[in-house]
């Protein structure tokens, strides 16, 4: 139990079996494949490269994967995956049976290419349509003011005797300035084509003989020439034609939308294909870690000793020419760490893993921290009904995420936290705060009521802290005994516990009632004895006797560290009391309007529901986090050795799809 025992395995075989072996390794998902020869010198390694070069195939798979990712992104851009609240937190996942998976994956690379080219064609068409639309809209904007022009644009040009020019001028000064110009230029004529706000759009004509004169006079009159050479035809007709084209773009776009719908319909296939090729790629990529000779390959890795025999049977079952060698971990060898515990303890691994994996060969704290974590969480929430709510939500979430109770996950932990909260809440009488008391005058507290005796709650927190810390010291002591270091256990943990206990009894004698002085009289001697013991032993790594005693004296200073750790448990009271007081305030607030006829009870019930939900929400994160922190900082400080490397077996890790009811899940 606790930290799994690891075995080092080596698989040897003929080159031709490499694919089969990788398949089995991936299916089982129990072995972590190490880089071959990580313990060999570079020169030795040169001759031992894996005979199979996968780089070409990997590049091929990468390009398929890139195309599928493009398709998935493209679909996501146009049609959102519907997610429920849970998936907003946990991310999207698709659940299906193995048969469904196989059916979707059937088409393979061809299906992937096909779907990609559909997606690409849709994107390209949409881009083209957008460009066309923009240019048509610009043309319409340019031509719109000229709709009054009855002549085709290409005929507005320089003729044999007459020059025709289109242009704009200031509409307000038009009459006056053109009249002035026509006085200078003989034969100047103009026609107002349209007016748009302050701009007037004009067609002007003048004899060619007066061209220079006319250009000058017109420009003085504020006339600016406009050239529409890129168009031909009557503006009205051109605009009508453009509008038709625009309509056909919009119709095409509707069609495309349907094509997108059809494509998105096939989304599960894309997800499956992506994961299918992703797993395929993983298989080829893992060969980079293999070693070998010209015709054989070698795989080295770690496997949990409990999974060893299954692995051996499966791999040696492929063919007779494959060998699986194993040996236990060397004492000082860095093996990856995996925790394995009984189902009731397994959920607490989540807490340990958040902190990091314990060093190989040390203690897995998960079983020891469990009960404390639950009680701390319960003390922080302090309400039985909140506990019921939390447990129900946890079970609901398990249903949504397709996990079963007892699989040892985070939700199991939350469900257990819920039960612990029910228990602690019942002890402290929290049933939606003090609601029973307010409504029926019931005194629900079994142990004590936090509202009436907050100091008791505070002392309870400290006592919990002392028990928790003592427990940590005892674990370390037992570990020392197991390692055969009896003296360390007595010197470091034994004396220390006696010192702390007698110190507290002596100093707190007055609080112990009539027997206090008697207890203090006895504990005083224990105090002195343990102090001498600590001073004599805590500097034992020093040879110099003065240094030795100095280090021993300084070790007594650790008492302040212990005390400040104990004080840290006041947070249990802080959070628990906050939750209790807030619950009571909610009750006070929302029971007030209950007396109003008809609407009163409705307001009260709805208000209480929201109020207490709010209280749960703001407290649950804090309860979880601070219960964790008390483990990490205070409890782990006594014995935990960090620095383990996580065990990462080579297996079926997919991105979008989970296959249920089979080994691939």
Partner 1 sequence: MDFTLGTLLGFMAIGLAVIPGGYASSKAVGMVGRAGAGVITEDPDKFGSILILQALPGTQGVYGFLTGLSIMVKIGVLGGSIQALTVNQGIMFILAAVPVAALGWLSAIFQGQVAASGVSIVAKRPEEMGKAVILAAMVETYAVLALLASLLMVLSINV
Q: Which residues bind partner 1 (CB under 8 A)?
A: 88-92, 353-356, 454, 458, 568, 570-571, 573-575, 577-578, 581-582, 585, 588-589, 618, 621-622, 625-626, 628-629, 632-633
Which is closer to partner 1, CB of 633 or CB of 665? 633
Rounded to whole angstroms, the Cα distance separating 628 from 646 reads 20
Shortest approach of partner 1 to residue 621 CB, angstroms? Answer: 6
Which is closer to partner 1, CB of 280 or CB of 412? 412
Shortest approach of partner 1 to residue 342 CB, angstroms? Answer: 23
Shortest approach of partner 1 to residue 384 CB, angstroms? Answer: 21
Shortest approach of partner 1 to residue 350 CB, angstroms? Answer: 9
Shortest approach of partner 1 to residue 655 CB, angstroms? Answer: 11
The DSSP line for 447-472 is: S--TTT-HHHHHHHHHHHHHHHHHHH
Shortest approach of partner 1 to residue 659 CB, angstroms? Answer: 20
Which is closer to partner 1, CB of 267 or CB of 312? 267
Rounded to whole angstroms, the Cα distance separating 139 from 634 reads 74
Which is closer to partner 1, CB of 349 or CB of 492? 349
Shortest approach of partner 1 to residue 627 CB, angstroms? Answer: 10
Q: What angle do CA 410, 388, 408 make, to 5 degrees?
A: 20
Which is closer to partner 1, CB of 269 or CB of 626? 626
Shortest approach of partner 1 to residue 584 CB, angstroms? Answer: 9
Give me the sign of the Cα torsion angle 325, 328, 332, 334: positive
Cα–Cα distances (Å) from 557 to 62, 460, 534, 546, in that order, read: 60, 25, 11, 17
The DSSP line for 350-404 is: HHHHHH-EEPTTS---HHHHHHHHHHHHHHHH--HHHHHHHHHHHHHHHHHTT--
The DSSP line for 485-523 is: -HHHIIIIIIHHHHHHHHHHHHHTGGGGGGGHHHHHHHH
Which is closer to partner 1, CB of 46 or CB of 511? 511
Which is closer to partner 1, CB of 278 or CB of 496? 278
> Does residue 641 come out as left (phi exceeding 0), alpha (psi in the -120 to 50 range) or beta?
beta
Pairing between β-strand 6-14 and β-strand 323-328 as defined by DSSP bridges: antiparallel
Which is closer to partner 1, CB of 410 or CB of 470? 410
Shortest approach of partner 1 to residue 363 CB, angstroms? Answer: 20
Which is closer to partner 1, CB of 139 or CB of 578? 578
Shortest approach of partner 1 to residue 573 CB, angstroms? Answer: 7
SS3 content of the chain, % helix, strand, coil (to 5): 65, 10, 25
Shortest approach of partner 1 to residue 459 CB, angstroms? Answer: 13
Which is closer to partner 1, CB of 376 or CB of 577? 577
Rounded to whole angstroms, the Cα distance separating 213 from 128 reads 47
Token pair belonging to 430: 């929290």
Shortest approach of partner 1 to residue 596 CB, angstroms? Answer: 15
**Chain centre to alpha carbon of residue 548:** 51
Which is closer to partner 1, CB of 201 or CB of 590? 590
Which is closer to partner 1, CB of 88 or CB of 515? 88
Which is closer to partner 1, CB of 150 or CB of 588? 588
DSSP 8-class letter at 49? B
Rounded to whole angstroms, the Cα distance separating 551 from 607 reads 61
Shortest approach of partner 1 to residue 552 CB, angstroms? Answer: 31
* DSSP helix/strand/coil, 102: helix
Rounded to whole angstroms, the Cα distance separating 422 from 128 reads 63
Query: Do the beta carbons of residue 380 and residue 619 sit within 8 Å?
Result: yes
Task: Please enumerate, as own/partner, the contacts of 369-373 that have beta carbons within 8 Å and a separation of 24 or more.
Answer: 369/631, 369/635, 370/345, 372/464, 372/468, 372/471, 372/630, 372/631, 372/635, 373/348, 373/417, 373/627, 373/628, 373/631
Beta strands across the sheet bearing 199-207: 189-196, 199-207, 162-170, 224-225
């Amino acid at each position: 139990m606790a930290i799994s025992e690891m075995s080092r395995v080596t698989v040897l075989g003929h080159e031709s079996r490499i694919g089969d072996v990788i398949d089995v390794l991936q299916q089982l998902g129990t072995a972590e494949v190490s880089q071959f020869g990580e313990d060999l010198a570079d020169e030795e390694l040169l001759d031992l490269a894996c005979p199979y070069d996968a780089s070409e195939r990997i590049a091929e798979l990468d390009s398929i994967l890139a195309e599928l990712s493009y398709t998935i992104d493209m679909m996501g851009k146009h049609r959102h995956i519907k997610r429920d609240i849970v998936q907003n937190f946990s991310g999207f996942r698709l659940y299906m049976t193995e048969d469904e998976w196989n059916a979707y994956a059937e088409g393979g690379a061809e299906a992937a290419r096909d779907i990609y080219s559909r997606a690409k064609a849709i994107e390209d068409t949409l881009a083209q349509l957008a460009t066309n639309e923009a240019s048509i809209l610009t043309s319409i904007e340019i031509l719109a003011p000229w709709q009054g022009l009855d002549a085709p644009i290409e005929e507005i040009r320089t003729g044999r005797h007459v020059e025709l020019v289109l242009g704009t001028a200031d509409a307000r000064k038009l009459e006056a300035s053109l009249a002035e110009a026509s006085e200078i230029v003989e034969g100047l004529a103009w026609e107002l084509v349209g007016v748009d706000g302050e701009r007037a759009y004009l067609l002007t004509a003048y004899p060619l003989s007066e061209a220079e004169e006319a250009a000058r006079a017109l420009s003085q009159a504020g006339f600016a020439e406009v050239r529409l050479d890129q168009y031909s035809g009557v503006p009205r007709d051109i605009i009508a034609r453009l509008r038709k084209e625009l309509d056909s773009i919009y119709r095409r776009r509707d069609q495309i939308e349907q094509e997108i719908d059809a494509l998105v319909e096939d989304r599960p296939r894309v997800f499956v294909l992506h994961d299918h090729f992703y797993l395929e790629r993983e298989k080829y990529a893992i060969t980079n870690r293999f070693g070998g000779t010209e015709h054989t390959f070698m795989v080295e890795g770690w496997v949990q000793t409990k999974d060893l025999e299954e692995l051996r049977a499966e791999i040696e079952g492929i063919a007779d020419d494959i060998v699986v060698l194993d040996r236990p971990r060397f004492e000082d060898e860095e093996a990856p760490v995996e925790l394995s515990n009984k189902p009731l303890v397994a959920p607490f691994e989540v807490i340990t893993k958040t902190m990091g994996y314990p060093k190989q060969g040390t203690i897995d704290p998960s079983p020891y921290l469990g009960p404390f974590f639950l009680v701390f969480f319960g003390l922080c929430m302090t309400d039985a009904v909140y506990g019921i709510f939390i447990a129900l939500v946890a079970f609901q979430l398990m249903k949504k995420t397709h996990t079963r109770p007892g699989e040892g996950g985070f939700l199991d932990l939350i469900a257990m936290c819920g039960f612990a909260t029910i228990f602690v809440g019942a002890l402290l009488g929290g049933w939606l705060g003090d609601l029973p008391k307010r409504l029926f005058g019931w005194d629900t507290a079994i142990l004590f009521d936090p509202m009436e005796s907050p100091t008791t709650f505070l002392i309870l927190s400290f006592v919990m802290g002392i028990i928790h810390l003592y427990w940590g010291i005892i674990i370390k002591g037992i570990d020392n005994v197991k390692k055969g270091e009896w003296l360390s256990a007595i010197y470091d943990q034994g004396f220390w516990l006696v010192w702390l206990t007698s110190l507290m009894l002596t100093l707190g004698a007055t609080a112990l009632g009539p027997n206090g002085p008697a207890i203090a009289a006895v504990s005083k001697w224990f105090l002195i004895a343990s102090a001498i013991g600590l001073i004599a032993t805590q500097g034992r790594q020093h040879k110099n006797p003065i240094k030795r005693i100095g280090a021993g004296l300084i070790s007594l200073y650790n008492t302040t560290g212990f005390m400040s750790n104990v004080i840290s448990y006041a947070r249990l009271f802080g959070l628990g009391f906050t939750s209790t007081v807030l619950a009571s305030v909610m009750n006070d607030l929302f029971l007030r309007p209950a007396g109003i006829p008809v609407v009163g009870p409705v307001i009260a019930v709805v208000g209480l529901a929201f109020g207490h939900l709010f209280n749960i929400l703001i407290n649950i994160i804090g309860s979880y986090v601070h219960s964790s922190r008390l483990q990490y900082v205070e409890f782990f400080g006594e014995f935990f050795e960090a620095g383990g490397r996580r065990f990462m077996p080579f297996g079926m890790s997919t991105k979008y799809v989970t296959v249920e009811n089979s080994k691939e899940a």
